[in-house]
């Protein structure tokens, strides 16, 4: 393809895909943004805190209605259920575990087709945020990090907080309380939220109009029959990643716009909520970092409320429990479960292998970059860089493989309802289960050098 015809196709793409996508993206979120702004101004105006919580609940409910119409009742029902459970177990000290069990049952019931598939797939994201908030609150109550059971208005105001209810992210109860206080409006606040929203639109554009046509239209790499499969898989993976960055940056934008997500250093307020780090996913150091950069608040939640609680069982079981919890929260669909469990194995093997290699060579090849005071002898040597690069490419390979299944399905219903098990197996066997074999190989290698 020569330059002129390439330009022509780009132009066509811009006209036929780019404009429409941006237009629809804005069309679907502008009311949500407006609601966030209104909420922020209401919090700023002051008044009784109960009134503020009620405003938060109402705005949250209206934004849910905008996206899910009457199906938002499921989310409301779920929130009410959570509060009811917290109320019942007021005097116990295992509220966290108990609430988690109830939520697990609720999600299982929902998953067993009691709610129709399209609806379930649509509200899953919101449901997940509500579940995470309720569970974190329960554990905080157990640890007495939160003083007493919040009032219903406070609780609903927290779980239905307009800035996070549709697209996430998870925020802690204390950050919600901070947001309610209504810090002063500043240029930094407006600037940070606008930048996040701009980034989200860019990511949407990349996800729909650039990633699916990456090879050879944007990067002139032509595949043969073998590599072509992998190039297509990479396109699908990148498209899926960018869709996640779109949601991540959008959620950053909405929650900052609504007044949550800042850190306070003495008198200085920094609006620095960060949900995704695209660069550490697209150019990863390790799969462990990919998993944490994928959705930072969520991985923080998993670490604080699941991993640390499960550490009593030992490291590997704790990792498995964490990924299982994540899979359940994501809605127990086969394909997400398969991806998350594979991720669990991949990150575990990567972690132990790199740890072993680091101690054998005394080099900075751990999953996470060394901090300045580490005891490794080799920090920046040529072969250290090469070894880290090898692991980076391995991570990209795993990501391509895992992301290959999120292709725009041939059948439109499939995308709406979530993919079927057969779809996952089909995609992965097309790539001859390469990633799983590689993980197995790495594990054998690790056992040999142990």
- Alpha helices by DSSP H, listed for 225-373, are 225-257, 278-282, 287-294, 296-301, 308-310, 315-329, 334-361
Is 406 a binding residue for another protein by CB under 8 A? The answer is: yes
CB of 352 to another protein, least distance (A): 26
For 378, residues 6+ apart whose C-beta sits below 8 A from its C-beta are 361, 362, 363, 364, 384
Q: How far is the CB of 333 from another protein (least distance, A)?
A: 9
Among the residue ranges 74-82, 364-372, 393-401, 411-419, the one whose residues contact another protein (CB under 8 A) = 411-419
- Asked if 167 is part of the footprint of another protein (rule: CB under 8 A), the reply reads yes
User: According to CB under 8 A, which one of 61, 72, 75, 129 is a site residue for another protein?
Assistant: 129
Tokens of residue 126, six digits: 């919101």
Look up residue 185 and give its DSSP letter. Answer: P
CA distance 337 to 324: 8
H or E element that contains 270: strand 268-270
288-307 positions binding another protein, by CB under 8 A: 295
Whether 91 is catalytic is no
Query: Interface mask (CB under 8 A) for another protein, residues 50-89, using x and -?
Result: -----------------x----------------------
Nearest CB to another protein, comparing residues 164 and 286: 164
Site stretch for another protein (CB under 8 A), options 104-112, 125-133, 223-231, 368-376: 125-133
Residues 6+ apart with CB under 8 A from 438: 394, 397, 398
Q: Does 323 bind another protein (CB under 8 A)?
A: no
Q: 430: which 2 tokens?
A: 């097309």
28/359 with CB nearer another protein: 28
CB burial class (10 A; 0-12, 13-18, 19+) of residue 149? middle
DSSP letter at 363?
B
CB nearer to another protein: pick between 153 and 415: 415
Q: Which of 330, 351, 398, 423 is catalytic?
A: 330
Beta bridge partners of 268: 265
Of 106-114, 151-159, 282-290, 407-415, the window that binds another protein (rule: CB under 8 A) is 407-415
User: 319: left (phi > 0), else alpha (psi -120 to 50), else beta?
Assistant: alpha
d(CA 279, CA 293): 9
Cβ closest to another protein, residue 150 vs residue 168: 168
- Residues near another protein, by CB under 8 A: 3, 15-17, 19-21, 23-25, 27-29, 67, 118, 121-126, 128-129, 166-168, 204, 207-208, 239-240, 243-244, 246-247, 251, 295, 330-331, 336, 406, 408, 412, 415-416, 418
State the catalytic residues. 330
């Amino acid at each position: 393809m020569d330059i002129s015809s390439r330009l022509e196709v780009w132009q066509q793409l811009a006209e036929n895909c780019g404009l429409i996508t941006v237009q629809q993206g804005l069309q679907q979120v502008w009311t949500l943004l407006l609601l966030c702004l209104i909420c922020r101004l209401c919090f700023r105006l002051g008044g009784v805190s109960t009134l503020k919580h009620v405003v938060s609940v109402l705005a949250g409910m209206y934004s849910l209605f905008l996206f899910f119409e009457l199906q938002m009742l499921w989310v409301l029902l779920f929130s009410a259920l959570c509060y009811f459970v917290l109320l019942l177990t007021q005097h116990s000290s295992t509220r966290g575990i108990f609430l988690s069990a109830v939520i697990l049952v609720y999600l299982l019931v929902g998953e067993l087709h009691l709610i129709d598939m399209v609806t379930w797939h649509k509200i899953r994201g919101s449901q997940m945020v509500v579940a995470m908030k309720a569970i974190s609150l329960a554990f905080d109550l157990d640890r007495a990090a939160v003083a007493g059971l919040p009032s219903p208005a406070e609780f609903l105001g927290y779980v239905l907080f307009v800035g996070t209810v549709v697209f996430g992210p998870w925020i802690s109860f204390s950050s919600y309380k901070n947001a309610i206080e209504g810090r002063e409006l500043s240029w930094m606040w407006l600037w940070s939220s606008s930048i996040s929203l701009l980034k989200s639109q860019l990511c949407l554009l990349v996800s729909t109009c650039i990633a699916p046509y990456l090879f050879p239209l944007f990067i002139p790499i032509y595949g043969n029959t073998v590599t072509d499969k992998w190039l297509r898989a990479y396109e699908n993976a990148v498209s899926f990643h960018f869709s996640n960055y779109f949601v991540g940056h959008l959620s950053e934008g909405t929650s900052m716009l609504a007044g949550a997500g800042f850190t306070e250093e003495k008198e200085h307020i920094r609006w620095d909520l960060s949900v995704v780090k695209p660069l550490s996913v697209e150019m990863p150091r390790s799969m462990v970092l990919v998993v944490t950069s994928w959705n930072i608040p969520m991985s923080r939640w998993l670490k604080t409320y699941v991993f640390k609680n499960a550490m009593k069982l030992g490291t590997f079981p704790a990792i498995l429990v964490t990924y299982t919890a994540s899979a359940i929260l994501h809605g127990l669909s086969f394909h997400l479960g398969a991806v998350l469990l594979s991720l669990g194995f991949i990150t575990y093997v990567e972690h132990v292998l790199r740890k072993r290699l680091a101690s054998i060579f005394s080099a900075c090849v751990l999953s996470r970059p060394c901090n300045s005071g580490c005891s490794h002898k080799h920090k920046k040597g040529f072969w250290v860089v090469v070894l880290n690069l090898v692991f980076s490419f391995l991570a990209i390979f795993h990501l391509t493989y895992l992301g290959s299944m999120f292709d725009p399905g041939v059948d439109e219903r499939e995308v709406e309802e979530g993919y079927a098990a057969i779809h996952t197996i089909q995609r992965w066997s097309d790539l001859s289960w390469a990633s799983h074999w590689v993980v197995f190989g790495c594990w054998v290698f690790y056992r040999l050098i142990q």
